Amino acid sequence: MQTRTQEIGVGLFLLAGLLALLLLALRVSGLTIGEQKDTYKSYAYFDNIAGLTVRAKVTMSGVTIGRVTAIDLDRDSYRGRVTMQIDRQVDNIPVDSTASILTAGLLGEKYIGISVGGDEEVVKDGGTIRDTQSSLVLEDLIGKFLLNTVNKDSSDDK
């Protein structure tokens, strides 16, 4: 009798534990099995990738279509090279599309947004998106803003 209830208790405990692990994997970390298979690789070069991190999302019209898998410096052009894995389903990105580094909210994380171009030719596996817009650097912006104000003040004085 007693062993029976114990065994049932232990069985439920093991079940609950495994279920919890499964929940953590699927619901919380959003793991989808076989994710790597149906993607293709493409590159984009930026003058400044400041703030962009590996695993950042790649979006088109606000829909996530891929992830950044690597960031490194191109030795010849001194530009940052971003490697992206794009979903295989989205295989019709025109080569003259623009990749921009955007910010979610004012202080949120950086991600890449792709705005569609008009070319017939599409980006292939291992291809490059040429048209890029670099990260918005807040410090530069503030610097420009200050400079403008100073210039304006000095012209007002005249």
Q: Is the CB of 45 or the CB of 66 nearer to other proteins?
A: 66
Whichever of 20 and 150 has its CB closer to other proteins, that residue is 20
Instruction: Compute the least distance from the CB of residue 152 to other proteins, in Å.
Output: 30
- The secondary structure of 132-153 as a DSSP string is EE----HHHHHHHHHHHHHHHH
State the minimum distance, in angstroms, from the CB of residue 136 to other proteins. Answer: 18
99 forms beta bridges with 114, 132
* CB of 112 closer than 8 Å to CB of 134: no
Q: How far is CA 7 from CA 15, 17, 111, in A?
A: 12, 15, 50
| Least distance from other proteins to the Cβ atom of residue 63, Å | 12
The residue (of 64 and 115) whose beta carbon lies closer to other proteins is 64
The residue (of 16 and 70) whose beta carbon lies closer to other proteins is 16
Q: Which residues bind other proteins (CB under 8 A)?
A: 3, 6-7, 9-10, 12-14, 16-18, 20-21, 23-25, 27-31, 55, 57, 105-108
In this complex, which beta carbon is closest to other proteins, that of residue 78 or of residue 107?
107
Location of structure tokens 């171009």: 117
Distance, CA of 71 to CA of 81 (rounded, Å) = 6
CA dihedral 104, 90, 82, 132 (to 10 degrees): -70
User: Comparing C-alpha atoms, which of 32, 81, 91, 34 is closest to residue 60?
Assistant: 91
